[in-house]
Amino acid sequence: MRDIPFSLKLYRWLLRLYPPGFREDYSALMEREFRDELSQSRGVCASARFWLRLMADLAMSIPVQLSREVAQDLRYTLRLWLNRPWQAGFAIAALAIGIGANTGVFSVVNALLLRSLPFREPERLAQLHQFIPPHDTAEQFHDWRQQSTYLADAALFEEIDANLGGGRVGSRAHVAQTSGNFFSLLGVHPALGRTFGPEDDVDGTGWGSPGSNAVAVIGYGLWQQLFGGDPRALGSTIRADGNPLTIIGVAPPEFDYPNKAVLWKPAAFSSGNNGWGTVVRLKPGISWPKARAAFAVESESLVPKPAANDSSSLRPSMTSLQDGLAGPVKDASLLFMGAVVLVLLIACTNVANLLMARTADRAGELSIRSALGASRARLARQLLTECLLLSFAATLAGLLIAYWTTSLAAKVEPPPLVAQSYSILDGRVLAFTLTVSLVTALLSGILPLLFLRRVQRFPARSSSQTRNSRLLREGLACAQVMLTMILLAGSVSVGRAFLHLMRVNRGYDVRGVVTVGVSLEGTTHQLGKRQFSYFEEVLDRIRNLSGVRTASATEFLPLYASGFVGGPFGLDGRPATRSSTMVPILSGYFQTMGGQILYGREFTEAEVRSGAPVAVVNEHFAAGFGVPEAALGHQLTNGSDAWKIVGVVNGMEYETDPTTAHGNQVFVPSTAPGSFSSTFVARVNGRAEDHLAAIRDAVQSVDPQVPVFSAKTMEQRLDEIFAAPKFYRTAIWVFAGFALLLVLIGIYGIVSYAVVQRTQEMGVRMALGRTPVQLRGMLLRHGLRMVAAGAIPGIVGARFTGRLLETLIEGAKSIDMITSAGLFLFVALVASTSIWSGTRRIARLDVTAILRSE
């Protein structure tokens, strides 16, 4: 029987698969039976039968024993929780908020940054900024793209808002005019019909002549809405700003690029148009850095260099389409991801602290049990089961929170269709949640587990163990204070950035301003003098309303200039080098908006009527002349147009993108401000809301055929624009507040536990003449040392994360020393309250009873 030792070895190894408790009790007996049985099985067949039976036996009994042990651990855990429901509830809630917020924010990051776009090979798609390829004619543009050394393809698009359906009842919709290769470049196939081809490109301005390229591809949603998904939509006519377009195709359901467009039509190429966006596809095999370098070289030769003292002109750049689509939400969601990870870490330390306290409580029992031979692994597994159960319960609750978070995020920053939606029902998101959940369980359990090993190394409870446990727990509290300081400092930075955003001098006064949009496209007022008479008539009626002080009109309002509207301006005959936003306005605009004329004057009504070549520039533009007033009298040129500078104004914040908000601005008089849409503005006495309806009706009354839309006060518009930053600020504050609450509870737990543990010591000290207040003071000093130990690295960490915030959020500044000191004091104060209330038990200690028990 030479094979017995090996068989036995194998069987012993298999026995290890049983739970340790069972193994300890029965492995010797089982081993013995194994030997007896094996000795009776002679011959190959008998041996084979024996092993088969044995394997079947193991396969049946091991899972049963394992599940029994797990069930036991679960029951034990649930009993523990029922005994202290508040403690368990708190731990689950803390982890649920942490896991839920992480899942929710990750689903946004996933939708925007990780999930690939529904285009062909989306990783090679890019957007060009501050750069428009040659586009005087379709031929010129296509020549350019075909000759490119680094681009496989390029397409142009221009975004506008238009009235669909025609007439005043039509709805306002986002429309893209694109070069013929737009869809083929993206690799998007229509759900129905066809998309554009090279034959759809025409040269000219406006909507193109009917019959040539007066065709359109409509969005899937619009198709459902207008035609109920009827395929006969193909060939029918849709009116955009009154222009009839024949529908040739329907875009696939998930397609709304660029910027939630619902209708696409072929572009008309002309030299005057500077509102183009460019989307490109890199050549196969070319790397991003190489493509960027090639683009830099090309743009250098095509785009004039800015003047040396003109810092505001942005240089051309190339970004991946995915990053471009994520836009402002990208930084915000990354910032949130950081914040929620901190919150989760704090929640984990809190739960770890709680479990540590419980393990320490049971230290005596555990060391006795382990001295009696109880398995350490068994105890550890019990602890781990509790952690897993905690994180499982928290994950379930967290998914609800995540669902709520994503729906909130979708409201604040609706995702573009191409990003599909912020959904938690996504493989990657669920895998993330599962990982977070397991990591949470491990993080919460790891220190208590380490402590458990320490407990069992000592035969009985000793003072050094108690001290070790206390040190560990205090270390955890320090870590919590540190993380909370970072989060608090971040929330202060974000809050300040927001205040800065709201308080910044926008160059106009939002109070008491009413705005009403109109679109003259496709109406009888569309062209020339007739348009101006329409504006005059409307302004007359508005000005005659009671309570209206002044009124004017502009092509676009401050903060509403999306994209690159304007162009390069030359000075006094010198070539164009100053890139600037151009805003066509009527007279009285600055007065109505509450703008400030710094030097010179505003346009007169006569100048507007006669189309005088005069311009007003902003201070930033004028600063290029050294002394701003020196700009007066100089000649501005753009192509063949020229204007004389008659005034300098305090710059108006024209773009929401803060990097370009205070760039160069040139205001020119226009009898037709707005080729696609215009906005009337009126300054009123009293509350702007009270005049809203009257002014809208006055505009409408001039010509019911002209579509009137978005009648809003300037304050309402500002609120809409700043809704997202406001939400970010509030959310960060909520997270910081939650972290602070966790710290408060954590410190309270540690201190009140320390009081219970040191009751006898306190009793003796009181018997020796210390008053309860003195003892509480002693604990307070000790607790504050712990807070300081966490806060100091926290401040250092906050300075580092502050730098990161500076890159992510415009206007955010890393906290200074005074703020750091203030935050430290605040946390210390909050901690003191917590410590003081945690030690109130001392005041009620009965010294005689304690001494008697001694």
Q: Which is nearer to other proteins, 69 or 310 (CB)?
A: 69
Q: Which is nearer to other proteins, 35 or 168 (CB)?
A: 35
List all residues 6 or more positions away from 486 whose beta carbon is below 8 Å from its beta carbon.
Answer: 342, 794, 797, 798, 801
Question: Which residue, among 122, 184, 189, 199, has the nearest Cα to 153 in the 3D structure?
Answer: 184
Q: Which is nearer to other proteins, 374 or 787 (CB)?
A: 374
Shortest separation between residue 57's beta carbon and other proteins, angstroms? 3
Q: Which tokens belong to 11?
A: 């069987």
Tell me, rounded to whole angstroms, the distance of Cα 329 from its chain centroid.
4
Q: Which is nearer to other proteins, 40 or 546 (CB)?
A: 40
List all residues 6 or more positions away from 490 whose beta carbon is below 8 Å from its beta carbon.
Answer: 338, 339, 732, 736, 798, 801, 802, 805
Q: Which is nearer to other proteins, 53 or 457 (CB)?
A: 53
CA distance 668 to 101: 49
Q: Which is nearer to other proteins, 48 or 773 (CB)?
A: 48
Residue 117: CA atoms inside 13 Å, Cβ hemisphere, count?
A: 28
Pure H helices in 362-462: 363-371, 376-412, 427-457
Question: Which residue, among 168, 330, 79, 42, has the nearest Cα to 701 in the 3D structure?
Answer: 168
Shortest separation between residue 376's beta carbon and other proteins, angstroms? 21
Q: Is 454 exposed, middle or buried (0-12, 13-18, 19+ CB in 10 A)?
A: middle
Q: Which residues bind other proteins (CB under 8 A)?
A: 18, 22, 25-26, 28-30, 32-34, 36, 53-54, 56-58, 60-62, 64-65, 68
Shortest separation between residue 28's beta carbon and other proteins, angstroms? 6
| E strand residue ranges, 315-387 | 317-320
CA distance 115 to 415: 13
Q: Is the dihedral of CA 217, 221, 225, 231 positive or negative?
A: positive
List all residues 6 or more positions away from 738 whose beta carbon is below 8 Å from its beta carbon.
Answer: 97, 343
The amino acid occupying position 351 is V
Q: What share of the chain is helix, strand, coil (3-state, %, to 5)?
A: 55, 15, 30
Residue 61: CA atoms inside 13 Å, Cβ hemisphere, count?
A: 16
Shortest separation between residue 16's beta carbon and other proteins, angstroms? 13
Q: Which is nearer to other proteins, 57 or 199 (CB)?
A: 57
Shortest separation between residue 36's beta carbon and other proteins, angstroms? 6
User: Between β-strands 125-129 and 202-203, what pairing exists: parallel, antiparallel or unpaired?
Assistant: unpaired
Q: Which is nearer to other proteins, 52 or 527 (CB)?
A: 52
Shortest separation between residue 369's beta carbon and other proteins, angstroms? 18
Shortest separation between residue 33's beta carbon and other proteins, angstroms? 5
Q: Angle, to 10 degrees, between the axis of helix 688-702 and the axis of helix 528-544?
A: 140
Q: Which is nearer to other proteins, 62 or 764 (CB)?
A: 62
The three-state DSSP-derived secondary structure of 485-498 is HHHHHHHHHHHHHH
- CA gyration radius, the chain: 36
Shortest separation between residue 44's beta carbon and other proteins, angstroms? 20
Shortest separation between residue 808's beta carbon and other proteins, angstroms? 59
Q: Please report the DSSP string for 140-159 in residue order.
A: HHHHHHHH-SSEEEEEEEEE
CA distance 667 to 670: 9
List all residues 6 or more positions away from 682 whose beta carbon is below 8 Å from its beta carbon.
Answer: 513, 514, 515, 542, 548, 549, 550, 551, 552, 592, 691, 695
CA distance 323 to 335: 15
CA distance 503 to 332: 21
Shortest separation between residue 18's beta carbon and other proteins, angstroms? 8
Cβ-contact 260, 417 below 8 angstroms: yes
Question: Which residue, among 275, 217, 328, 188, has the nearest Cα to 808 in the 3D structure?
Answer: 328
Q: Which is nearer to other proteins, 61 or 423 (CB)?
A: 61
Shortest separation between residue 61's beta carbon and other proteins, angstroms? 3
Shortest separation between residue 74's beta carbon and other proteins, angstroms? 16
Q: Which tokens belong to 564?
A: 């690159």
Q: Which is nearer to other proteins, 14 or 778 (CB)?
A: 14
Q: Which is nearer to other proteins, 28 or 460 (CB)?
A: 28
The amino acid occupying position 477 is A
Question: Which residue, among 220, 247, 223, has the nearest Cα to 234 in the 3D structure?
Answer: 247
Shortest separation between residue 72's beta carbon and other proteins, angstroms? 10
Q: Which is nearer to other proteins, 17 or 400 (CB)?
A: 17
Phi/psi at 416 (5° precision): -65, 150
Q: Which is nearer to other proteins, 43 or 575 (CB)?
A: 43
Q: Which is nearer to other proteins, 62 or 408 (CB)?
A: 62
Q: Please work out, in degrees rounded to the nearest 5, the angle formed at the alpha carbon of residue 832 by the alpha carbons of 830 and 836.
A: 125
CA distance 572 to 630: 13
CA distance 55 to 33: 14
Shortest separation between residue 342's beta carbon and other proteins, angstroms? 46
CB atoms within 10 A of CB 814: 18
Question: Which residue, among 342, 280, 320, has the nearest Cα to 113 in the 3D structure?
Answer: 320
Q: Which is nearer to other proteins, 23 or 315 (CB)?
A: 23
Q: Which is nearer to other proteins, 41 or 577 (CB)?
A: 41
Shortest separation between residue 379's beta carbon and other proteins, angstroms? 19
Shortest separation between residue 734's beta carbon and other proteins, angstroms? 49
Question: Which residue, among 694, 767, 656, has the nearest Cα to 543 in the 3D structure?
Answer: 694
Shortest separation between residue 64's beta carbon and other proteins, angstroms? 6
Q: Which tokens belong to 129?
A: 């900024």
Q: Which is nearer to other proteins, 30 or 645 (CB)?
A: 30
Shortest separation between residue 4's beta carbon and other proteins, angstroms? 16
